[in-house]
């Protein structure tokens, strides 16, 4: 086997592993109202407190109800991972009546409560 063939086989193997990882992620993702939403939960100011956080939800136009629940889920995961509790005091959250959607994106803000 020539060096060229060995490199080709290596690249094919790497591609197969990468493809397998992306298939796994799609399989494990959680759907809300039949849609997958890209969410990101992050701390507001870690120097002050990790309890205060925001959640951004992309693709709101697919389903407003689904986007609300995806945001609730992301916030709950954030609090469980950082505080071991799912208790959240939402400043702007999934149960807020008037939510602002800008560029197909919505943002929630909340504070994790101590268990």
DSSP 100: -
Instruction: Please write the tens of the pLDDT for every residue from 54-87.
Output: 999 999 999 999 999 999 999 999 999 999 999 9
The pLDDT of residue 1 is above 80: no
Angle at the Cα of 69 (from 54 to 86), degrees rounded to 5?
Answer: 65
CB 58 within 8 A of CB 39: yes
The Cβ of residue 86 has, within 10 Å, a number of other Cβ atoms equal to 15
3-class SS at 67? helix
Instruction: Please write the tens of the pLDDT for every residue from 18-53.
Output: 554 444 466 667 889 889 999 999 999 988 988 999
Q: Collect all residues with Cβ–Cβ distance below 8 Å to 34 and sequence separation of at least 6.
A: 63, 66
């Amino acid at each position: 086997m020539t060096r060229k063939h060995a490199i080709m086989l290596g690249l094919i193997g790497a591609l197969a592993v990468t493809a397998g990882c992306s298939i796994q992620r799609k399989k494990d993702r959680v759907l809300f109202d039949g849609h997958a939403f890209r969410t990101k939960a992050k701390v507001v100011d870690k120097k002050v407190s990790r309890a205060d956080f925001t959640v951004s939800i992309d693709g709101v136009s697919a389903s407003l109800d689904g986007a609300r629940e995806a945001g609730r889920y992301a916030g709950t995961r954030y609090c469980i991972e950082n505080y071991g509790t799912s208790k959240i005091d939402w400043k702007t959250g999934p149960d807020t009546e008037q939510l602002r959607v800008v560029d197909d994106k919505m943002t929630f803000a909340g504070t994790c409560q101590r268990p």
